[in-house]
Amino acid sequence: MGGTGRFLSRIFLWTYERGSWQYDVAVVLIVVFVLLTPGHWFHDQPEVGVPASAAHVQLIEDAGGKQTYRVDARILAPPEQTPQLQNQLHTALQKTLPDLRGARFEISKIEAVRDDQGTVTAYRVTIQRK
């Protein structure tokens, strides 16, 4: 039993010389772990805001190639700089609206919709399809 415990502690502490069979066994075990571990174990990124759904994105106006959507602010991160906000809105529109999933479009205008206290509740987003 002492031999097994010593073997495991030396592998854990990585004390074997490079090129020895024990070192090679440790490397093989690491490679097997990396290749055989399910991918979903490593996708633990926290979700920002409320999960996006079609109810959070509404078409307000569709005029001559330009469309204006109302995007609920709860599905986005707290207010950030314009480029990051624009990227998040672009992603939110693509994820929630089936007709925009594979489409190319650019955001031409972003307006914050505020409640009585001045809190941003949504964004009016005007897009132009390319």
User: Helices marked H in 17-104 — which ranges?
Assistant: 21-36, 82-96
Same domain, 31 and 78: no
Task: Name residue 113's beta-bridge partners.
Answer: 122
Rounded to an integer, the average pLDDT of 39-47 is 66
| Domain harbouring 77, CATH code | 3.30.70
Give a yes or no: residue 47 inside a domain: no
- pLDDT, tens only, 89-110: 888 888 888 888 888 888 888 8
pLDDT at 32 over 90: yes
Rounded to an integer, the average pLDDT of 19-41 is 86
Give a yes or no: residue 8 inside a domain: yes
Q: Using the 8-state DSSP alphabet, how is residue 1 labeled?
A: -
Same domain, 86 and 120: yes
> What pLDDT does residue 46 have?
55
Give a yes or no: residue 118 inside a domain: yes
Tally of domains in the chain: 2
Same domain, 70 and 92: yes
Q: Using the 8-state DSSP alphabet, how is residue 47 labeled?
A: P
Same domain, 16 and 65: no
Which domain does 70 fall in, by range? Answer: 54-129
Average pLDDT of the residues of the chain: 79
> What pLDDT does residue 5 have?
83
Same domain, 80 and 116: yes
Give a yes or no: residue 59 inside a domain: yes
